[in-house]
Amino acid sequence: MSSYRERLWPAAWMYLVIALIVPATMLVFTPISLIAGVITAVALVAACVGLLIASAPTIAVEDGLLRAGRASIPLDLVGDASAAHGEQARHERGPGLDARAHLVLRGWVDPVLRVEILDPDDPAPYWLVSTRRPEQLAAAIEAERAARPSGA
């Protein structure tokens, strides 16, 4: 059962940036062969879009775990979760960032959620996760922690 699930899909402007591959490729290949330019441009755009979509991480709270991308941690090892927007989010991602923190950040998603880690054996003091709905994610973490007995 999942109480929260979000996929950090790329923003629309990322696809427009990828579209700039077409004129650049055509500029390079047209003097050689128009067909080679078209084929190369289509292949490069398809590969870039595929990589962008495949690399979109999922953020989820389910089965007593917080999952962010490939990483997961039991909810009984996490502490307070605090949302940040705008200037505060920029500070969390930049000057206020601890180099030991576990990061799942995407540049096209401004808000972040900082989740404190209580595990003394974990080298990361907190996770910093991009999310479009940080308050909902924090509420889902708290609700899931409250619903599960400690150590379960």
pLDDT score recorded for residue 145: 86
pLDDT at 152 exceeding the cut of 60 = no
pLDDT at 2 exceeding the cut of 80 = no
Of 89, 78, 71, the closest CA to residue 143 belongs to 78
Q: What is the mean pLDDT of residues 13-25?
A: 93
Q: What is the mean pLDDT of residues 41-66?
A: 95
pLDDT score recorded for residue 75: 94
Residue pair 59/128 in contact (Cβ under 8 Å)? The answer is no
For the chain, the maximum distance between any two Cα atoms, rounded to a whole number of angstroms, is 68
pLDDT score recorded for residue 91: 96
Per DSSP, helices labelled H in the chain are 12-19, 21-29, 34-54, 86-93, 134-147
Assigned token pair, 11: 């923003």
- Torsional sign, CA 106, 138, 81, 149: negative
Q: What is the mean pLDDT of residues 99-109?
A: 94
Statement: the pTM of the whole predicted model exceeds 0.85: no
Q: What letter represents residue 98's amino acid? A: D
Length of the chain: 152
